[in-house]
Amino acid sequence: MTDSEGLRCEHCSALNRKPVCGRCRSELVEPPFIRCAWKLFHHRKQVFVVGVLAAFGVYYWASSEIAPRTYVECKEHAARTARSNAAMYVLISNCSARFPQPP
């Protein structure tokens, strides 16, 4: 058996698969990754809720930063993203349809 197939006892160096050493009966210490996985499993509902809220927050923040809110911002966004003059005129006409033009 290799170390990847079991836990090595710190006291007697025996290789085990159980949470208690079969030779000296001392409790085996699991690797940090396994302990973290168990904690994540025990708190999986809370982690899921926090993950969903974080994803919603990131989506809301990104959409509010990208979408223009006024006609002027829409025109500036059209000028930045257009690759040709014809495309810019189409995007600006879309801005005119979405927002009332300023006086």
Phi, psi of 27 (to 5 degrees): -75, 135
Torsion of CA 79, 84, 87, 91, to 10 degrees: 0
- pLDDT per position as a tens digit, 11-27: 787 777 677 777 787 77
Instruction: Tokens for 78, please give them.
Output: 């059209």
Q: How far apart are CA 82 and CA 70, in angstroms?
A: 18
Does residue 3 have a pLDDT over 70? Answer: no
The pLDDT, as a whole number, for residue 2 is: 45
CA proximity to 19, closest of 44, 40, 38, 45: 38
The pLDDT, as a whole number, for residue 5 is: 67
User: What's the pTM?
Assistant: 0.45
- pLDDT per position as a tens digit, 33-65: 888 998 999 999 999 999 999 999 998 887 766
